[in-house]
Chains A and B, each alone.
Chain A
Amino acid sequence: MAPLLQIKDLNVHYGGIHALKGVTFDVDEGQIVTLIGANGAGKTTTLRAISGLLKPSKGSVTFAGKPITGRPAHEIVALGLAQAPEGRGIFANLTVEENLDIGAYLRHDHAGIAKDKEKALGLFPRLKERLRQSAGTLSGGEQQMLAIARALLTKPRLLLLDEPSLGLAPQVVKLIFEIVKTIANDGTTILLVEQNAHMALKVAHTGHVLEVGALAASGPAADLAKDDAIRKAYLGVH
């Protein structure tokens, strides 16, 4: 079976800056794939080029057998590829429930939306207690939960998560990673971008290491976690 997502020779330029220099990898259906790398390596750029938030200068992205390179973001979301963006990007002045409703913006199956909403709130009971609260008043961890729940309401086959652990307390990070696993077990494929390589390699099946715009290493997550060079560079082991 062909992989759910195929990225070939992806290149992105910001004006004169060559931020991605030919990135190639696949994401198989049902897996958690992680993309780790230092700050500024190009992880967010990779996700945005996949989800249509920016146009790659070269290369191709294929999702579920369809070429999606350079197509507008809303068409890509409609195909079942969703993203919880870096920095959460919640709509601060809207309520938690309104945030979730925006996730379902492209859908018209009211029964399905209601079902998915209940399912998402089942994953994040803390959001259920705060449905009418404006999202800006949530704690950082709750905002991250909202960003993930909102993305789930688009009913994705593939979910892109951009540093969900950023700035969160260790026990909240643990909780988020638990939920990421649950979502994957439920059948949603996940591409997880992280600086927290330790946690990311623990939950993921496959890992890729991005260094200044190019892949430096790829392989089963367990192998990467044992690799000496990676342990030194990303896991803080000396």
Chain B
Amino acid sequence: MKTLAQRVPELTPGLLPTLGRSIWPFLAGFGFAYLMQVGIAPAVGEFYGSLLVNIGIAIVLAVSLNIVNGFAGQFSIGHAGFMLVGGNAAAAIVYYGSIKLWGSPEIHGGFLGPGELLLVAGCVAGGLWAAFAGLIVGLPSLRLRGDYLAIVTLGFGEIMRVLVTQTGPQLRGKDAAEASWFTLMTKLNGNLGFSNPQGAYLDPQNPFWVWVFVSILLIVAYRLKSSTHGRALLAVRENEVAAEAMGVPTTRAKVSAFVLAAFFAGIGGALFAHELGSTLKPDPSTLGFQKSFDIVIMVVIGGMGSITGAVLAAVILTVMPELFREFDQYRMIVYALALIFMMILRPQGLMGLRELWDTSWWRRIFRRGGAS
């Protein structure tokens, strides 16, 4: 029998299969988003359509925060701050970009039309801008071990909320067309975007791009978790000194995880800024500490490090307040109780580090009589 060492060359995948492997899931993600757009959204109507958009955005936020708090084990409580950074940039780009390009802020083009492409550009730019903020915030605070990150991210979130709320009056027409981007970023009327009489780029009947970004994030997160870098992050979380002793550049690993999470939080904020017709309004005051805390709760309840756990918790914790109006009032009490019971009964969260398909009941249902 050949030893494993001798079999390595034949087991190492070639470049082409690797590329194929990298493209197919993304295509499937686009297909899924298209299905949500043309199949699910029209079928479920306004209320559930809006709920689905909120769920999608919550998934983006919970799964991205899970990369920092779950994989890398660093306690960030300022995710909403990165939503604000990304949302602010995207709102300016989509609104003023539309004026600069087409002379008016109105919705431009239909499904997959030029207006939507501007929205996508806004989301990506917002994500990059938030990632840059993540680098500035993460670099000094992640060099140190301990609780610095929690304190710094908390402060960062509050500063961003105040800054965005303080943005000056919106510019119109020629003023807007001639102003620099730097100026325009600070002219958002204290909002994240503006309501548009013609509707919004993202609404209960138009959720395509939300699910595209959800799919991309899920694939990236899953690939990260199963990669060498993901395992290095888990090692940092389990024992930072030992990870360092094994040659993991711990600061670099933590900062990259933080920047990646900030990037997707920025995209989440950009999507949030462009959704309308939900109970959430693109109002920066709803992106305060409370919002950051909600996302932390999702990660903790879902299971630190579990992607499917974060998805599950994002769904549950978005549906509950929408279905039970009274719930909102008691939310903090319910969350506190849920956390206490969780710490007693399942301190690792619903899923711990595992994914849905690693659980025994999933195996029982989907591989009848399979190994336990």
Contacts and interface: CB of A to CB of B under 8 A. Distances in A.
Q: Do A and B bind each other?
A: yes
Interface of A: 51, 53, 72-74, 77-78, 82-85, 89-94, 98, 101-103, 105-106, 110-111, 114-115, 117-118, 147, 150-151, 154
B112 interface: no
Interface string B347-368: 0000011000000000000000
B244 A154 contact: no
Contacts of B305: 93
B235 A154 contact: no
Nearest to A72: B249
- Chain B CB within 10 A, most for which of A73, A101, A102: A102
Contacts of A110: 8, 12
A34 to B, nearest CB: 20
A82 B239 contact: no
Contacts of A84: 245
B246 interface: yes
A111 B5 contact: yes
Given A74-B248, A150-B246, A102 B9 contact: no
Interface in B148-198: none
B346 to A, nearest CB: 14
Contact of A77 (B12, B231, B245): B245
A89 B353 CA distance: 19
B366 to A, nearest CB: 20
Contacts of A90: 238-239, 242
A86 to B, nearest CB: 9
9 contacts: A73-B247, A74-B247, A74-B249, A85-B245, A89-B239, A91-B235, A94-B231, A102-B231, A147-B242
B342 interface: no
A84 B246 CA distance: 9
A21 to B, nearest CB: 24
B234 A94 contact: yes
Interface in B1-47: 3-5, 8-9, 12
A154 B9 contact: no
B127 to A, nearest CB: 28
A110 B12 CA distance: 9
A118 B5 CA distance: 8
